[in-house]
């Protein structure tokens, strides 16, 4: 491409302070350095992790100015020195939880999907190779990075470990969902819990991640999938994707875990907490069956509060774990997952509820804040 090796001037939505509307303006994007890739973003979307960072809910998220965003798809514009697994024009999906392939974590097979060098790190706001930013605004002020990706920009620069090459025939708009939400939720059902035919599941919070859990449990043949949400409108979407039962905590006069135990002869095999709420997490833990139940944490918890859990409660055989990126190893496993989506194994259409041009990114944020969208796809 004609832009190879040159600084690119393009649009980006820049966060200048907590809760402030993103400013769509011209920024400069430097060429990729050693083991980096510059990509042209074609589609991006917003998830609750982006909202948490936009609100500045933790110290790790208060680096300004900053370009947020970590769900996207696009094409490679140019590669830096040493990158051999992709080239200009390749279709790619950025991932916030990287995979270098060489560290002790990446070589651990099925023990972890974390990477020693490029794992998800909310404190990281610069590139790994030189500790500098690849973005600047019109005044030459550096603009910080976010979650290894920064996709709210026409062009972005990412480390080679945080980019996945996918089938060139895959629909790039839908592949955006694989950067975070769908991979995280569905992967938690497939990889973390390994739901089996006939088992029972409860999903707390029916946003995009929660509904992706539902999709994962449905494809595995779960006999009962209970959706829990305080928004009654989530029932319709949940039933369309696969929930068999719906509970609105505001409409029952007993704790949710008691209701679920009653519905499932003692509790579900697996529960998934996708709300980022401490009280909800405890209910998710208690609704699992004693002896073998497992609660999987997926929600973002920026609060410094700790979980109220007595160690002796674990002696009943219930377990509680967390799942990062659905326990997918991004670079080595996501290409196959993309093919499965192309083959119709997973229904992606249900997750895209709105489409808007990139300039209306603040409208997309409001749609998610109001609970009116699962994913609003922004076309760049």
Quick one: 318 and 364 in the same domain?
no
The last residue of one of the domains, among 273, 288, 322, is: 322
The answer on pLDDT for 122 being more than 70 is: yes
Is 70 a known active-site residue?
Answer: yes
Residue tagged active-site, from 57, 77, 91, 106: 106
Domain of 128 in residue numbering reads as 8-25+37-181+327-379
Question: Residue 128 maps to which CATH number?
Answer: 3.90.180.10
Residue tagged active-site, from 36, 57, 66, 70: 70
Quote the pLDDT of residue 57: 74
Is 115 a known active-site residue?
Answer: yes
Tell me how far apart the alpha carbons of residues 245 and 270 are, in angstroms, rounded to a whole number. Answer: 15
Q: Which residue has the tokens 């774990």?
A: 321
- 82 vs 302, higher pLDDT: 82
The model's pLDDT over 210-238, given as tens digits with 9 standing for 90+, comes to 999 999 999 999 999 999 999 999 999 99
In a domain, 187, yes or no: no
Closest CA to 152 of 47, 71, 56: 71
The model's pLDDT over 339-371, given as tens digits with 9 standing for 90+, comes to 999 999 998 999 999 999 999 999 999 999 998
Quote the pLDDT of residue 1: 62
In a domain, 30, yes or no: no
Quote the pLDDT of residue 61: 60
In degrees rounded to 5, what are phi and psi of residue 194?
A: 55, 55
Is 287 a known active-site residue?
Answer: no
Quick one: 282 and 213 in the same domain?
yes
Residue tagged active-site, from 44, 47, 57, 215: 47
Quick one: 231 and 291 in the same domain?
yes
Quick one: 317 and 331 in the same domain?
no
Which DSSP string corresponds to 276-287?
--HHHHHHHHHT
The answer on pLDDT for 252 being more than 70 is: yes
In a domain, 2, yes or no: no
Closest CA to 216 of 242, 237, 249, 252: 242
pLDDT grade, residue 58 (50/70/90)? low
Residue tagged active-site, from 36, 44, 48, 261: 48
**Residue 154 exposed, middle or buried by CB count within 10 Å (0-12, 13-18, 19+):** buried
Is 305 a known active-site residue?
Answer: no
Going by DSSP bridges, is the β-strand pair 200-204/224-228 parallel, antiparallel, or unpaired? Answer: parallel
In degrees rounded to 5, what are phi and psi of residue 124?
A: -80, 125
Tell me how far apart the alpha carbons of residues 202 and 225 are, in angstroms, rounded to a whole number. Answer: 6
- 133 vs 58, higher pLDDT: 133
The answer on pLDDT for 302 being more than 80 is: no
Quick one: 278 and 358 in the same domain?
no
Quote the pLDDT of residue 347: 86
pLDDT grade, residue 3 (50/70/90)? confident
Quick one: 95 and 173 in the same domain?
yes
pLDDT grade, residue 60 (50/70/90)? low
In a domain, 31, yes or no: no
Quick one: 13 and 122 in the same domain?
yes
Is 47 a known active-site residue?
Answer: yes
Quick one: 165 and 46 in the same domain?
yes
The model's pLDDT over 259-290, given as tens digits with 9 standing for 90+, comes to 999 999 999 999 999 998 999 999 999 999 99
Residue tagged active-site, from 36, 57, 71, 99: 71
The last residue of one of the domains, among 277, 301, 322, is: 322
Is 48 a known active-site residue?
Answer: yes
Q: Are 74 and 39 in contact (CB under 8 A)?
A: yes
Quick one: 87 and 164 in the same domain?
yes
**Residue 371 exposed, middle or buried by CB count within 10 Å (0-12, 13-18, 19+):** middle
Instruction: For residue 296, list its beta bridge partners.
Output: 272, 321
Tell me how far apart the alpha carbons of residues 290 and 273 are, in angstroms, rounded to a whole number. Answer: 18
Is 106 a known active-site residue?
Answer: yes
Q: How many domains does the chain have?
A: 2
Helix 278-286 to helix 256-263 angle (10° resolution) is 30
Residue tagged active-site, from 57, 100, 215, 220: 100
| 333: Cβ contacts below 8 Å, ≥ 6 apart | none
- 59 vs 237, higher pLDDT: 237
Q: How many residues are there in the chain?
A: 380
Residue tagged active-site, from 10, 11, 62, 103: 103
Conformation bin of residue 149: beta by default, left when phi > 0, alpha when psi is -120 to 50: alpha
Residue tagged active-site, from 38, 119, 261, 318: 119
The model's pLDDT over 151-178, given as tens digits with 9 standing for 90+, comes to 999 999 999 999 999 999 999 999 999 9
Percent of the chain with pLDDT over 90: 87
Going by DSSP bridges, is the β-strand pair 66-67/71-79 parallel, antiparallel, or unpaired? Answer: unpaired
Q: Are 34 and 80 in contact (CB under 8 A)?
A: yes
The model's pLDDT over 15-53, given as tens digits with 9 standing for 90+, comes to 999 999 999 999 999 999 999 999 999 999 999 889 988
Quick one: 235 and 369 in the same domain?
no
Is 169 a known active-site residue?
Answer: no
Q: Are 256 and 287 in contact (CB under 8 A)?
A: yes
pTM for the model: 0.94
Is 274 a known active-site residue?
Answer: no
Q: Which residue has the tokens 């829990």?
A: 228
In a domain, 220, yes or no: yes
Is 239 a known active-site residue?
Answer: no
The answer on pLDDT for 59 being more than 70 is: no
């Amino acid at each position: 491409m004609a832009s190879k090796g040159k600084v690119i001037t393009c649009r980006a939505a820049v966060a200048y302070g907590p809760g402030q509307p993103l400013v769509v303006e011209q920024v400069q994007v430097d060429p990729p350095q050693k083991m980096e890739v510059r990509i042209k973003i074609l589609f991006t979307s917003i998830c609750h992790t982006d909202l948490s960072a936009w609100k500045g809910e933790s110290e790790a998220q208060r680096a300004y100015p900053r370009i947020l965003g970590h769900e996207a798809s696009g094409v490679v514009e140019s590669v830096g020195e040493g990158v051999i697994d992709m080239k200009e024009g390749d279709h790619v999906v950025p991932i916030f939880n990287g995979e270098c392939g060489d560290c002790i974590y990446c070589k651990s097979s099925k023990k972890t999907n974390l990477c020693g060098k490029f794992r998800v790190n909310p404190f990281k706001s610069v590139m790994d190779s030189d500790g500098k930013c690849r973005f600047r605004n019109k005044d030459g002020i550096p603009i910080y990075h976010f979650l290894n990706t920064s996709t709210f920009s026409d062009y972005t620069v990412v480390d080679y470990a945080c980019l996945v090459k996918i089938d060139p025939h895959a629909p790039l708009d839908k592949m955006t969902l694989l950067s975070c939400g769908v991979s995280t939720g569905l992967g938690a059902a497939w990889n973390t819990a390994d739901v089996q035919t006939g088992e029972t599941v409860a999903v707390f919070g029916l946003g995009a991640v929660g509904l992706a859990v539902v999709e994962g449990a449905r494809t595995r043949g779960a006999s009962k999938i209970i959706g829990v949400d305080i928004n009654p409108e989530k029932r319709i979407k949940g039933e369309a994707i696969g929930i068999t039962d719906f509970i609105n905590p505001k409409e029952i006069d007993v704790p949710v875990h008691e209701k679920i135990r009653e519905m499932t002869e003692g509790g579900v095999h697996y529960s998934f907490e996708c709300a980022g709420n401490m009280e909800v997490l405890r209910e998710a833990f208690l609704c699992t069956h004693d002896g073998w139940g497992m609660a999987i944490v997926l929600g973002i918890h920026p609060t410094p509060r700790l979980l109220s859990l007595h160690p002796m409660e674990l002696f009943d055989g219930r377990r509680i774990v967390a799942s990062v990126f659905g326990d997918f190893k991004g670079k080595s496993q996501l290409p196959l997952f993309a093919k499965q989506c192309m083959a119709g194994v997973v229904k992606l259409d249900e997750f895209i509820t709105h489409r808007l041009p990139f300039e209306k990114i603040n409208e997309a944020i409001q749609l998610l804040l109001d609970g009116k969208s699962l994913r609003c796809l922004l076309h760049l």
